Amino acid sequence: LYSLRVIFFVSMGHPRFSPLSPVNENNPSVINPIKRLAWGSIIAGLLITSNITPLKTPVMSMPPLLKLAALLVTISGILIAFELATLTNKQFKPTPHLSPHHFSNMLGYFPAIIHRLTPKLNLALGQAIASQTIDQTWLEKIGPKATTSLNFPLISATNNIQQGMIKTYLSLFFFTLILTMLLLFY
């Protein structure tokens, strides 16, 4: 019913509201139909799902291992959040005191040459491939494809002209052939 009203008012000639969009969109005449539609669809969905029996009875239980996994994830999330909340109260300085010289943050196991060389090679290869592709595209567009696109109108015009001439030549040939046949045999 609501969709029919929307279609009716959209297909009417002139709308009954101002074409300027309002600054305040808390107009009850705009909000109430949407509320009615939302409540109607919620109630209709509830009535339909509660009155129609499913063809197959769904399995309503989870395996015990899955239940235990969900509980463990929830408990671990709560413990981690609690630990983070208590750590924020124990920090006395506005900036945290980090020990700067640990083996893991000094990149002692990454040699500087190899660590910089791999990204540089990847980026150089990508740049070379991209520039080669762009150059190849431009050369193809300027070379063979440009020649084709420039010569195509001339080819079609020449073809049309020659077709017209052939038709004229053939018609004149047949006309003279018929005239000579008529003159020779009659």
Note whether residue 87 is domain-resident.
no
Note whether residue 146 is domain-resident.
no
Residue 107 gets the label, from left (phi > 0), alpha (psi -120 to 50) or beta, of left
- The H-assigned helical ranges of 55-101 are 64-89
Note whether residue 180 is domain-resident.
yes
| Number of domains the chain contains | 2
Note whether residue 20 is domain-resident.
no
pLDDT tens profile 73-106? 999 988 988 887 777 666 666 666 666 666 665 6
Which DSSP state fits 4? H
Range of the domain at 164: 157-186
pTM: 0.24
DSSP-based three-state secondary structure for 39:
helix
pLDDT tens profile 8-52? 666 666 666 666 666 676 778 878 888 999 999 999 999 998 898
